[in-house]
Structure 1
Amino acid sequence: MSLSTRSKVPFDETTRLLQPDTSSSVSSDDDSSQSSSSSSPHDSLSPPRLYGTTAKSDEEEQYEPDTTTSTPVQAEYSNGFIARVVVALLVGVFTASADGSLVIATHPIIASAFNDLENSTWLFISFLLAGAATQALYGKLSDIYGRKSVLLVSYALFAMGSALIGVGQSMWQVIVGRVISGSGGAGMMALAAVIISDLAPLRDIASWQSYLNVVATVGRSLGGPVGGFLADTIGWRWSFLGQAPIFLLAMILCGIVLPNLTTGQSRGNADATKSRLARIDFLGAAFLGSGLLALLLPLRLAGQRVPWTSPVIPLLFALGIVLLGLFTVTEMRWAKEPIFPLRLLNNREVVFSYLIMACQIAAQVGMMVSVPLYFQVTERTSSTVAGAHLMPAVIGNTVGALLTGAWIGRTGYFKTPLVFAGVISFISYGLLILRWKGDTNWAESLYIIPGGFGTGVSLNAVFVALQAAIDPKDKATAISGLYLSIPIGSILGMAACNAVMQAVTPVDLASRLRDLGIDGIEAEQIIKQAISRLDYLDEAPQVVRAAIQAAYVRGLEYSHGVSLLCAVVATAAAACAKNGQLRR
């Protein structure tokens, strides 16, 4: 069979993205029978790099899909069916997203209930670290056991963790509950995205994915206020106990609506269970998870629990490097089915996608952390009002996600939104550095809109760009890797911004105090009070208060500089990525 004939026939989930050639009268059944009895020299072509694209220029390349892979034939699903699946998925996505901002808003209240306020940040740090350690597992597990069953397990883990938090009688029990919830939450968004990519053509995936992003954004927006209201009225425990029945509802809906999306391998008898268990790369997963923990943990400890100069910090970094080295050796030499195939990283488009995601998330998290602090310091607003200043960014994120889905669905291009997202984010963070000097009016407070808009655009476009660059059989593991970039980017963004603030603000404040004639022990006491509690601003003399506010503004400028740098890296990666137009 000729190459031209093969390219006209829908074989799998990749080729059904290509525009049909009406000049061909060859049916898929006829072609299937011919392919079984003939061997074409074209079958030995190099693996495709950009699936479902059409040649436009030297930069916009088309690669013939490799039909010799074991990827099963994918059924076509109606938009109505996909819509029902998405609605079922939205319940879990919304609740899990609301949980994150709920904990951020109420963690001081929760920790205070156990007289352990100094460890309150572990309520969300433990969640992020557990997610980073287990994220890579879900892609391979869904390939082995099926999307639906693994998604239901992630729901069950999140519900169990939430219930444990609600009934926990000590701080360590609550933290254990957060770890369990984090391990379950790692699979929710990733598996929801994988399921949508299983059902919809690639060109339409961005539109469906935008609904998940919008609902997740709305959940993050509402979680804090709702959690604060519940904590003030009926108690913080009900914020978590109430999640268990919601996830039970999500499990029922997904159990009813979701199709059984599996690879069709190793199923149907008693030996299949043992066979599938043997396919799980437990050793690689252990090395990857523990290695990431060892690298990310010191980023949260340093400067807060222990000083950067502590020997614990380099030891943890060294341990993380060793464990990731062992992970690399395991995947390359011993693992029959790697938990994350390292060959994916030989594809520069995959690397660019992961880099863009991590940098955009780091930039966004850095801004989300610094904006409330800015208004609390400069205007002495309440936590509620300061948090409300993030709403423009949330709205920008929502609009960006929706418009990107519509753009990709209409035009098929995904590189342009990625570059645009980086540029507009750069403009946003640049405006924050140049214009937020302590006397920000309502119009200038809207400078965060482009940052949120750019993140919304980027998250949707990079998801499509990744899938356009990989072999379909690697889809689940590649998407899990993409979602692993989110907790990594979040932790890096928070750690970098916090480190910059801690380095710049005390030094700048000391200089300003010297200009006021305040030095020595008195200056040290003022600096210690200023960086440990914001209400010291209400107690300090007017001139000292002005100096503290100015020092905080300077530290926040450098913090926005971290976000700006991340936006530059994301823009450069997007500019270097290949271009292409997805066919229908």
Structure 2
Amino acid sequence: MVLRVDSAVAEPERAPLLEQVQNSYGGTFDSDSISTSSPTGTIVPRGAEPAKSIAEEEASLGDGETGAEEPGIGRSQVVKIIGVLLIGIFVGHADSSILLATHGIIASEFNSLENSTWLITSFTLAGAATQTMYGKLSDIYGRKPLVISAYIIFIIGCFIVGIGQTMGQVILGRVISGAGSAGMGALVSVLITDLLPIREVAQWRAYINLVATLGRSVGGPLGGWLADAIGWRWSFLGQVPVVGLSIVLCTIYLPSHAESLKEPEDPTVTRKSKFNRIDFKGSFVFAIMVLALLLPIELGGSQLPWTHPIILSLFALSALLLVLFIKIEQRAPEPILPLEIFHRRDAVLSFVILGLQTAAQLGLMFSVPIYFQITSKTSTSAAGAHLIPAVFGNAVGGLASGLLIKRSGRYKSLVLLAVVTSSLSYLLLMLRWHGNTNWLESLYILPSGLGTGIAQSALFISLQVVIDPAHMAPAISFMYLSTTVFITIGLPLSNAIMHAPLRWGLQNRLLALGMSGAEIRKIVARAISDLEYVGSTTGAVHKVIVASYVDGLWWSHGFSFLCSATALVLALLLKEKRLDTVRV
């Protein structure tokens, strides 16, 4: 919970997962008796110590050193609560990296390489449709039931992907996995803000990001190796027992407020009242709105011209649905997205900057494996390994920024550093990656990861210091949603930007070789749909295909640079608030 200095008396925010907790004397107290976190991060029951003024509390904080432990939830319990969720964090991010490294070979098996982005966009679209639901539902039903539900949905999707016999079935599995994955990450961040002082939030999120980075680092090479050795399906089927173990651990170790609440005489009425609080109408309209925006971006320029009536109609529909969504949320008793969140300029800037940064890096990570498979004829596993510098940069950036924020209480300069560093990375790729990339030049993607890692921690704090505590859970969920939406839009847009010059350049180069129209159409169709075909070509045909891919990927890197440069302009507009003026 965040209390500002100029506040009068603020009602403490509930932590629904921890509705009742065991104190150090063996008794219990419910969340109405939980005070704000102590400087140590311990949740203290009211009455455990004399009330202090804000000035006295700030003086006791000093330079960030903590005092004696208070009764309540100790640091070891916080570690246990968050620690059992790390398996899910690891697997969820490994899954994303696996898909980035293997989407080409998966789609090629179904002769649909040009549609390979749907393996990723279907996942992120499902996340966009369900992301904000987790924040509100966890406020209503508690964190634990929502965490377990997210895990179950995720493993059902992984199983469907593993046994899918058509591209449509595999995409369906990715949709289901995306709906589960949306809650696996967001709820951990909500829990951190429930339990910890604001100066420690960035540091603990950095630890979570480190586990996520490890998952992304392992996922790409592991997925590529499995695809080469025993088939890509085992990359997804193998996740099922691991997440199943995580469900068991969550069931055992995560506190459940539902077990400790005294049930009313008519439990059906209680369940119905809780159910009626859910903003299903707003969630449905928002999901359709995102789909209406995504489809024309995915189809435009590749399967339909941008001026086609279907493309224009879908864009218009998405705009109308946005207006309808706002009207619904204004009238909803408990909107899934309180519109007051968007009255805070720095909150909106934080959403957009992080979304642009994430879209830029994912566009890069989508293109890097393709680049090395095309230009160097590397295996799927070797191509996936080239993603490691970026995800390593994520870990270093997150850890460093978390520590700096805790010590200095400042975050805006870190946001500026993040976007400048990322922009430099994409500019280097545009200038130097032309088909003959040595090992040193392959490290140019590291600053991209470094910048994104810094931005994730710093922008989370930027959001937390300006949001009303009552809206913290939906605001955090929307921050995750904003990155999902930017990915959903940015990835197919990046893919379209790559394929348009690729197709045009390849046609012209093949025409210059004296080939007929029929031959050109056949080669172009196979070159953009099957990477194995590209590797099997030789001579002049192979050279023109590689040159055309390099041209297309140059434009893709340019798109990433444009996103990051835009984020830099927006970062200049942020107004920093020192964390020693904010009390948790």
Smaller-chain TM-score range? 0.7 to 0.9
Alpha carbon RMSD of aligned pairs, Å?
3.7
Quick check: 247-256 or 505-514, which moved more?
A: 505-514
1:57: which partner in 2? none
Match of 1:244 among 234, 240, 245: 240
Matches of residues 525-564 of structure 1 in structure 2 within 5 Å? 525=521, 530-534=527-531, 535-536=533-534, 539-542=537-540, 545-564=542-561
1:150 paired with 2:146, answer: yes
Gaps of 5+ in 2: 15-34, 41-45, 60-69
2:456: which partner in 1? 459
Deviation at 1:160? 2.5
Matches of residues 177-188 of structure 1 in structure 2 within 5 Å? 177-188=173-184
Aligned length in residues: 536
After superposition, the Cα gap between the structure-2 partners of 1:27 and 1:358, relative to the gap in structure 1 and judged at 3 Å, is same
After superposition, the Cα gap between the structure-2 partners of 1:18 and 1:466, relative to the gap in structure 1 and judged at 3 Å, is farther
What is the rounded CA distance, in whole Å, between the counterparts of 2:388 and 2:528 in structure 1? 26
What is the rounded CA distance, in whole Å, between the counterparts of 1:321 and 1:189 in structure 2? 29
Deviation at 1:518? 4.5
1:341 paired with 2:338, answer: yes
After superposition, the Cα gap between the structure-2 partners of 1:142 and 1:31, relative to the gap in structure 1 and judged at 3 Å, is same
Matches of residues 159-178 of structure 1 in structure 2 within 5 Å? 159-167=155-163, 172-178=168-174
Matches of residues 73-472 of structure 1 in structure 2 within 5 Å? 77-107=73-103, 121-167=117-163, 172-231=168-227, 236-260=232-256, 268=264, 270=267, 271-333=269-331, 335-472=332-469
2:19: which partner in 1? none
Gaps of 5+ in 1: 21-25, 36-51, 55-73
Are 1:501 and 1:559, in contact at CA under 8 Å, matched by a contact in 2?
yes
Q: What amino acid is aligned across from residue 281 of structure 2 in structure 1?
A: L
After superposition, the Cα gap between the structure-2 partners of 1:166 and 1:497, relative to the gap in structure 1 and judged at 3 Å, is closer
Q: What amino acid is aligned across from residue 471 of structure 2 in structure 1?
A: D
2:85 match: secondary structure: helix
Are 2:422 and 2:451, in contact at CA under 8 Å, matched by a contact in 1?
yes
Deviation at 1:491? 2.4
What is the rounded CA distance, in whole Å, between the counterparts of 2:293 and 2:316 in structure 1? 8
Deviation at 1:11? 6.6
After superposition, the Cα gap between the structure-2 partners of 1:27 and 1:103, relative to the gap in structure 1 and judged at 3 Å, is closer
Matches of residues 42-53 of structure 1 in structure 2 within 5 Å? none
TM-score calculated relative to the size of structure 2: 0.81
Are 1:129 and 1:487, in contact at CA under 8 Å, matched by a contact in 2?
yes
After superposition, the Cα gap between the structure-2 partners of 1:207 and 1:31, relative to the gap in structure 1 and judged at 3 Å, is closer
After superposition, the Cα gap between the structure-2 partners of 1:248 and 1:349, relative to the gap in structure 1 and judged at 3 Å, is same
Are 1:53 and 1:581, in contact at CA under 8 Å, matched by a contact in 2?
no
What is the rounded CA distance, in whole Å, between the counterparts of 2:190 and 2:366 in structure 1? 30
Are 1:281 and 1:339, in contact at CA under 8 Å, matched by a contact in 2?
yes
Deviation at 1:527? 5.1
What is the rounded CA distance, in whole Å, between the counterparts of 2:367 and 2:143 in structure 1? 38
Q: What amino acid is aligned across from residue 498 of structure 2 in structure 1?
A: M
2:62: which partner in 1? none
Identity %: 47
Are 1:9 and 1:28, in contact at CA under 8 Å, matched by a contact in 2?
no
After superposition, the Cα gap between the structure-2 partners of 1:265 and 1:414, relative to the gap in structure 1 and judged at 3 Å, is farther
TM-score calculated relative to the size of structure 1: 0.81
Deviation at 1:393? 1.1
Deviation at 1:12? 3.6
The Cα offsets for residues 540-569 of structure 1, whole Å up to 9 and x where unpaired, read as 534x54444334333322221111111112
Matches of residues 498-509 of structure 1 in structure 2 within 5 Å? 498-509=495-506
Q: What amino acid is aligned across from residue 213 of structure 1 in structure 2?
A: N
Are 2:158 and 2:239, in contact at CA under 8 Å, matched by a contact in 1?
yes
1:576 match: secondary structure: coil
Quick check: 520-529 or 462-471, which moved more?
A: 520-529
Deviation at 1:306? 4.1
Deviation at 1:302? 3.0
What is the rounded CA distance, in whole Å, between the counterparts of 1:243 and 1:412 in structure 2? 39
Deviation at 1:474? 0.5
What is the rounded CA distance, in whole Å, between the counterparts of 1:490 and 1:426 in structure 2? 18
